[in-house]
């Protein structure tokens, strides 16, 4: 399965910076040995999609509403994101679960909405440090998968990816051991079946990408901080095994 390296720009980038980064990605990407995806904030999504049109780099959103339209001030519906040029959408990121109270049931409704709109959901799961230290990491992630993924997720007619992102590794410079990443990816594979790509996310950098991306069942990376620099992001992509 071809790996994917996806960048989550989070709440960063004004128009000028986004245009510059998109231009650097377009010029620098070459012929990567993996799929590339960038997920800018919604304000610059259409501009970034336009700047990357016809390039190897796909564009995604960072969240969507569960309804297709209606009285939801400030929210964005999946068809709007598709209309703006998105092909994918990150759902259930731990920052949304923690800061916006998103439950598995809410994530599931968003996954269904994204699929209906023709977007490929990238569904994030991952344990907190207390859960890992308590020995519950796998059962927490299993519960999130059971609650967030619809039946048939990732099978024909319902494309989708899972991103395993330990909460304590996001933006901290800390990563699980390679053995722990491999064990969690094997556990996720057991639950989602053979056709779903499973990305690892959490402090992926050019210096650790090759080792992580070579682990069994790691189908790519979801990259936060390092995706804001074209050279770092493309170096991570270049670290994908052929």
Q: Which of the residues are catalytic?
A: 93, 165
Query: Which of 62, 14, 65 has the alpha carbon at shortest distance from 38?
Result: 62
Contact 119, 89 (CB under 8 A): yes
Radius of gyration of the chain (CA): 17
Binding site for ligand PEP (CB under 6 A): 8, 165, 170-171, 201-204, 222-226
Pick between residue 50 and residue 174 the one whose CB is nearest to ligand PEP.
174
Kindly report the number of other CB atoms within 10 A of residue 26's CB atom. Answer: 16
C-alpha 183/C-alpha 217 separation (Å) is 9
Min dist. Cβ of residue 204 to ligand PEP (A): 5
Pick between residue 94 and residue 115 the one whose CB is nearest to ligand PEP.
94
User: What residue number has its CB nearest to ligand PEP?
Assistant: 224
Q: What is the DSSP string of 146-213?
A: HHHSPTTTTSTT---EEEE--GGGTTTS----HHHHHHHHHHHHHHH-TT-EEEEESS--HHHHHHHH
Kindly report the number of other CB atoms within 10 A of residue 157's CB atom. Answer: 6
Pick between residue 10 and residue 65 the one whose CB is nearest to ligand PEP.
10
Pick between residue 85 and residue 202 the one whose CB is nearest to ligand PEP.
202
What's CA 235's distance to the chain center, in Å?
18
């Amino acid at each position: 399965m071809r790996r994917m390296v996806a960048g989550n720009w989070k709440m960063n980038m004004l128009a000028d910076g986004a245009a510059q980064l998109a231009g650097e990605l377009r010029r620098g990407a070459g012929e990567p040995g993996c799929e590339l995806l960038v997920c800018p904030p919604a304000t610059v999504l259409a501009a970034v999609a336009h700047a990357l049109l016809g390039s190897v780099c796909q564009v995604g959103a960072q969240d969507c509403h569960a309804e297709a339209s209606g009285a939801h001030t400030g929210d964005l519906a999946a068809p709007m994101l598709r209309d703006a040029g998105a092909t994918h959408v990150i759902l259930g990121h731990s920052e949304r679960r923690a800061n916006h109270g998103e439950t598995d049931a809410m994530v599931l409704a968003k996954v269904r909405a994204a699929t209906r709109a023709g977007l490929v959901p990238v569904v994030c799961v991952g344990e907190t440090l207390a859960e890992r230290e308590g020995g519950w990491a796998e059962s927490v992630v299993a519960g999130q998968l059971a609650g967030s993924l619809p039946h048939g997720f990732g099978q024909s007619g319902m494309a989708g990816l899972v991103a395993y992102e330990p909460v304590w590794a996001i933006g901290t410079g800390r990563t699980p051991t390679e053995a722990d990443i491999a064990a969690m990816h094997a556990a996720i594979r057991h639950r989602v079946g053979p056709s779903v790509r499973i990305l690892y996310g959490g402090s992926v950098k050019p210096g650790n990408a090759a080792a992580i991306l070579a682990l069994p069942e790691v189908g790519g990376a979801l990259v936060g901080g390092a995706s804001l620099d074209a050279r770092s992001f493309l170096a991570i992509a270049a670290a994908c095994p052929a």
